[in-house]
Chain A
């Protein structure tokens, strides 16, 4: 079956702009998590959605937001971009029917560069 698909794969923005990233999970997976990966900080949790509900949010400013649609596809948005937002944004899906996350299946990521 198809894996997790993230679009776009690469993008360049300038400070102050906003960006929307998209993630299509594996068919049947209802949980989608987003992570920011940078060389210095590793994988930082952004948020997790399950059946269109945000169940958990990481320690990121309000400029970072997300949502999940009824078909489990998810988007995340970053407004008023800053240079420090340059990173690889990874989406991961899981079945997560219970209270634990279960195995995460990651997409290839969206690499954002802010100039």
Chain B
């Protein structure tokens, strides 16, 4: 079945450093979504990418969707303590259906002030 893999599993940075998490799918995706889960919280939608090669920015966050629509990345410039949390990518499909999102296992980001 479809697999979505994320690396790294953990990342610890000093405040002000950059951070990148990578997401790879075993199948071509129609779109990819990114979510953030703060410690003790629930996943919150960040963005959806649809087009091949698409790049979107949200303030210090830059999201990319690969040309083959099988990989994606999230880059945070100059991390802040408010960026702490687990970042998940998710793609639709798997099991022959688009009516589900398959999540990667996430990258836990910790930031040392």
B105 contacts the other chain (Cβ, under 8 Å)? yes
**A108 vs B95: C-alpha distance when bound (angstroms):** 27
Question: Is B88's beta carbon under 8 Å from chain A?
Answer: yes
Q: Are A90 and B100 in contact (CB under 8 A)?
A: no
Distance, CA A105 to CA B90, complexed state (A): 13
Any B CB within 8 A of the CB of A24: no
On whether the beta carbons of B99 and A106 are closer than 8 Å, the reply is no
Contacts of B104 in A (CB 8 A): 42
Would A43 and B103 be within 8 Å (CB), given that A90-B42, A105-B45, A106-B42 are in contact? Answer: yes
Query: Contact between A55 and B43 (Cβ–Cβ < 8 Å)?
Result: no
Task: Provide the residues of chain B in CB contact with A100, threshold 8 Å.
Answer: 30-31, 92, 98
The secondary structure that dominates the B interface is loop
Bound form: Cα–Cα A65–B41 in Å: 25
Neighbouring A residues of B48 by C-beta, 8 Å: 103
Asked if A45 contacts B45 (CB within 8 A), the reply is no
Q: Are B43 and A43 in contact (CB under 8 A)?
A: yes
Bound-state Cα–Cα, A13 to B100, Å? 29
Chain B: which residue is nearest A6 at the CB level? B42
Total A-B contacts with CB atoms under 8 angstroms apart: 63
Please, which residue of chain B has its CB at the minimum distance from the CB of A40? B105
A109-B103 CB under 8 A given contacts A55-B97, A56-B97? no
Mark each residue of chain A from 27 to 60: 1 if its CB lies under 8 Å from any CB of chain B, else 0. 0000101010000011101001010000111100
Whether A50 lies near B99 (C-beta < 8 A) is yes
Answer yes or no: B101 CB below 8 A from chain A CBs.
yes
Contact code string B24-58 (vs A, CB < 8 Å = 1, else 0): 00000011010100000111110010000000000
**By the criterion CB–CB under 8 Å, are B99 and A96 in contact?**
yes
A33 with B43: CB separation less than 8 A? no
Could you jot down 12 A-B contacts, CB within 8 Å? A31-B99, A42-B103, A42-B106, A45-B103, A58-B95, A99-B99, A100-B30, A100-B92, A101-B101, A103-B48, A106-B42, A106-B44
B interface residues with partner A (beta carbon < 8 Å): 30-31, 33, 35, 41-45, 48, 88, 90, 92, 94-95, 97-106
What 8 A-B pairs are tightest by C-beta distance, nearest first? A42-B105, A43-B103, A55-B99, A106-B42, A56-B97, A56-B99, A56-B100, A103-B45
